[in-house]
Amino acid sequence: MNARVRSPLGIIIGLPMMFIAGMFFLSFGWNIRADLERQMAAMIPAQGVVVEVVSRTVNTNSGNRTFSYPVVEYRTATGELIRFESTLGGNPPAFQTGDRVEVLYDPQTPQSALVNTWEHWLPVYIFLGAGGVMIGLGSLMALDLGLKLLKLGGLLGLIGAILWRRRQQG
């Protein structure tokens, strides 16, 4: 049985693309993280109560799905009662009527509040994770390319020979 010899050309082309895509995802995720932290730093925490759960049917790629969105009431630091519907819905519902939740709100516009949950960080995790995986795969591709060049006596083999010769002379 013949062993198939592959050219490193695919790796040479794919390697920069993998690193560029990985860096794009990492920087995009980092920017989302920074924006979210900046937004949350300007907000004031408050305790809220889920007073209603609203169901909405949304048309997705996999068909119609029903998502549940909590309607939350909370009091601002000045005592004003605010009621808002969360922009994050779930299926199954993440909250039930009567649940106590932490709310973050902007004192300038207390109606644009949000329920403080990990789901706000999900896009950050997705982009940083995808970028990390791409950089990791790119590193493996670079290692594979380096090993192939060493085996073929290519660029790294040449550098190794030069360093070895200098060591022998010194």
Tell me the pLDDT tens digit for each residue of 20-77: 999 999 999 999 999 999 999 999 999 999 999 999 888 878 888 889 999 999 999 9
| Mean pLDDT for the chain overall | 86
pLDDT of the residue at 15: 83
**For residue 11, what is the enclosing H or E element?**
helix 9-41
CA distance 142 to 135: 10
Is pLDDT above 90 for 135?
yes
CA distance 92 to 167: 66
> Residues with Cβ < 8 Å from 81, sequence gap 6 or more?
73, 74, 75
Q: Which residue has the tokens 């895509």?
A: 21
The conformation of residue 119, written as its DSSP 8-state character, comes to: G
